[in-house]
Amino acid sequence: MEVIPRLLPDQIQLKKHAEDWQSALRLAAKPLLDQKYITADYVQSMIDSVKKLGPYIVISPGLALGHARPSSAVKKTGFSITTLDKAVKFGNKDNDPVDLIVILASINNVDHLALLQKLVSFLNDSKNLTSLRQMTTSDEATKVAQQINGDF
Amino acid sequence: MKIVAVCGLGVGSSIIAKMNIESILSDEDKSDVTVDTVDLGSITSAPADIYVTTRELADEFPEDLKKKTIVLTNFVDKADIKAHLDPKMEELEGK
């Protein structure tokens, strides 16, 4: 039976501070690194792919989707979500500056899709984005995780 | 009709674009349109009627594919995607 990965409350970080896009990506990846979903190589691959391909990972106004290819640097499929206290520039003409970062890690090309679909449904509603950006407490983070997982 | 969403690696933004496009097509009852994803490096081996991508990556496209390409700045806003996609599909359908 397929097990759908879940977004955990401690994979949501609110109002964190970063000076530039690289430190923002490192910061946003930290929960997944600390929880051993990914290794440091994955974080570096994410940064390298932006350097190589450009800031296309900023997929809508203020929102960056940090990810690299599935590889041995991913131990477990999961996501993290981080909001920044101060937006940083990624160099994207249309969607800078960024104050919301989603990190996506998948062990293969399939395992993340169910959770990604839930996340996309959440992101489709601009009201969700507005309220997420205003949140500050861990209780609010828990509610967002439950909402994205579809617990209520 | 075939739509291919293109991103740098073929696993993140293009998948999000595909999910949103499929949702739009479903709302429009267009069951004869398929959506695939591909990374930029594999684009020439993924023939399609319409390519969907971001401004950064569109610049890297082979010249002959550019006229088939829709540049999206927002992969999350379905209304915005629909506003770009519908005219292109109508053009291809000869309406």
Residues of A in contact with B24 (CB under 8 A): none
Residue A1 has pLDDT above 60, yes or no: no
Question: Domains in chain A and their CATH numbers?
Answer: 9-149 (3.40.930.10)
Residues of A in contact with B77 (CB under 8 A): 60, 124, 126
Determine the Cα–Cα distance for residues A62 and B39; give it in Å rounded to an integer: 23
- Cβ neighbour number for residue A100 with a 10 Å cutoff: 21
Name A82's bridge partners: A13, A101
DSSP 3-state percent helix, strand, coil across chain A (nearest 5)? 40, 20, 35
pLDDT of residue B95: 64
Q: How far is B63 from chain A (nearest CA, A)?
A: 18
User: What tokens does A108 get?
Assistant: 């293969």
Give the nearest partner residue to B11 out of A67, A94, A123, using CB atoms: A67
For chain B, the straight-line distance linking the first and the last C-alpha, in angstroms and rounded, comes to 15
Query: pLDDT tens-digit profile of A17-39?
Result: 999 999 999 999 999 999 999 99
> What is the per-residue burial (b if ≥16 Cβ within 10 Å, else e) of B33-71?
bebebbbbeebeebebebbbbbebbbeebeeebeebbbb
The Cα B95–Cα B92 span in angstroms is 8
Answer whether B57 sits within 8 Å of A93, measured CB to CB. no
**pLDDT per position as a tens digit, A82-140:** 999 999 999 999 999 999 999 999 999 889 999 999 999 999 999 999 999 999 999 99
State the pLDDT at residue A34: 98
- pLDDT given for residue A152 in this prediction: 67
Residue A56 has its nearest CB partner, among B19, B54, B78, at B54
Q: Which residues contact B14 (CB under 8 A, 6 or more apart)?
A: B5, B6, B7, B37, B38, B39, B52, B53
All domains in chain B, ordered by first residue:
2-92 (3.40.50.2300)
Q: Return the bridge partners of A84, or none.
A: A16
Chain A contact present for B78, CB below 8 A: yes
Contacts of B34 (CB under 8 A, 6+ apart): B1, B2, B3
Which residues from chain A sit within 8 angstroms of residue B19, using beta carbons? 116-117, 120
Helix or strand run (H / E) with residue A82: strand A78-88
Closest residue on chain B to A120 (Cα) = B16
Each residue of A47-72: pLDDT tens digit? 999 998 889 899 999 999 999 999 99
Question: In this complex, do A116 and B15 lie within 8 Å of one another by their Cβ atoms?
Answer: yes
Whether A59 and B13 lie within 8 Å, measured CB to CB: yes
B94 min Cα distance to partner chain A (Å): 30
- In order along its 95 residues, chain B shows pLDDT tens digits of 999 999 888 888 899 999 999 999 999 999 999 999 999 889 999 999 999 998 888 988 999 999 999 999 999 999 999 999 999 999 998 86
pTM of the complete model: 0.93
Q: CA A76 to CA A87: how far, in whole Å?
A: 29
Q: Where are the beta strands (DSSP E) in chain B?
A: 2-7, 34-39, 50-53, 69-71
B50's torsion region: left (phi>0), alpha (psi -120 to 50) or beta? beta
DSSP A26-76: HHHHHHHHHTTSB-HHHHHHHHHHHHHH-STTEEETTEEEEE----TTBSS
